[in-house]
Each structure stands twice: as C-alpha cells, then as structure tokens.
Amino acid sequence: MKAGSTQAAARFGKSDFEALADFRYRLRRFLRFSEEAARRHGLTALQYLLLLQIKGFPGRDWATVGELAERLQAKQHGVVSLISRCESIGLVRRSIGRGDRRRVEVRLTGKGEKCVKRLAVLHRAELASSRGDGGLPDSAVLPRAPASGSARRRRRPTAPGSAGDRAAAMGAA
C-alpha cells in the first residue's frame, strides 16, 4: 500500500463508511426499481439504458456504437449485440454516418422514443420520491477515491439486465 493511500485510509472513519454504505443501498434500490420498471414495459434494464443513452446523448439525437459502449461501460461487440436485439424489436435503427461513411449512427425509432419517454417519466418520479428519504447524494458528500492510473484500467461493472444482455455487454456474446 502506498503512503498516500495509507493516510487516506486512516482518515476514513465510521461516518464515511456509513455514508458510502447508505449511498450504495439507495443506488441499488433505485437500480432495482429501474430493472423492474423496464421489465414491466417489456424491456431488460440494459435495453432501457441503451435507449436512454441514445436519447440523452449530448448535442444530438444519435450515438455511435463506440460512444454507446463507453456510456454503458461495456465492450463494443457486446453493445453491437444489444443494438441488434433492440433493432429486431423495432426500438432502434442503424444507419451509415452522414458525415463519415465509416461510422454507424444508432437512432431511436418512434417505438423506441415512446418507450424511453414512458420509462424516463417513471424514473424521474422515483428519484423525486426518494428525495423525501434522502435521495441520492451529491458527489460532494461521497468520499473521494485516490487518483491513480490503475483505476482507469479496472473493469467497471455493467448494470444488471437479462442474462443475454449481461453476457453481451460483458463481451461474452
């Protein structure tokens, strides 16, 4: 253990553990709500996340496969499989890039737009109601992780979805 991380660990008190544990609990509770809401609307959690990331992509109404892989924290070929499943049920469509023909642009269809809007309204209402019992904290409340180059190389977990979506997002499909 490095000297800096030893000092940081020494300053990490019981209240820090309580705050982090509470945040993780509320985050998991929200994710469970999200999984169940998506399932009630005929989607997996990852399918909803894909639609949300396309709809919410900054500055435009489409995203590339690589951008979606980054936003979902998943492997690119797994995201291609996820896109294919969403395309087969009419939620998204792929097209050749307008400015760069090597690029594939992924857009929502009318059905995908309706679906993501319905679910987003439910998610916003859930977040608003959770604020009554503390909600999700601002990042300023959370303890900061030590900055290191190794953190960037660590595999980040993907959000839960169906076994097929989980496997695809993790690169197994």
Instruction: Encode pLDDT of 75-111 as tens digits.
Output: 999 999 999 999 999 999 999 988 889 899 999 999 9
Number of separate domains in the chain: 1
Which pLDDT band, with edges at 50, 70 and 90, does 10 fall under? Answer: confident
Whether 153 is covered by a domain: the verdict is: no
| DSSP 8-state assignment for residue 132 | G
The percentage of residues in the chain with a pLDDT greater than 90, rounded to a whole number, is 63
Whether 49 is covered by a domain: the verdict is: yes
User: Which residues, 6 or more positions from 54, have their beta carbon under 8 angstroms from its beta carbon?
Assistant: 61, 62, 63, 68, 92, 106, 107, 108, 112, 116
* CATH number, domain with residue 105: 1.10.10.10
Between CA 87 and CA 94 the distance in angstroms is 8
At residue 4, the pLDDT reads 65
Q: Which candidate, 42, 73, 68, 46, places its Cα nearest to that of 56?
A: 68
User: Is the model's pLDDT at 34 over the cut of 80?
Assistant: yes
- The arithmetic mean of pLDDT across residues 47-56, rounded, is 98
Whether 105 is covered by a domain: the verdict is: yes
At residue 161, the pLDDT reads 44
Which pLDDT band, with edges at 50, 70 and 90, does 56 fall under? Answer: very high
Ramachandran angles phi, psi of 105, nearest 5°: -100, 135
User: Is the model's pLDDT at 57 over the cut of 50?
Assistant: yes
Whether 129 is covered by a domain: the verdict is: yes
- Helices 65-72/45-55 angle, 10° precision: 120
Between CA 162 and CA 38 the distance in angstroms is 11
At residue 150, the pLDDT reads 39
Element (H, E) at 63: strand 62-64
The model's pTM is 0.72
Contact yes or no for 54/87 (Cβ under 8 A): no
Whether 157 is covered by a domain: the verdict is: no
Whether 28 is covered by a domain: the verdict is: yes
Whether 9 is covered by a domain: the verdict is: no
At residue 82, the pLDDT reads 98
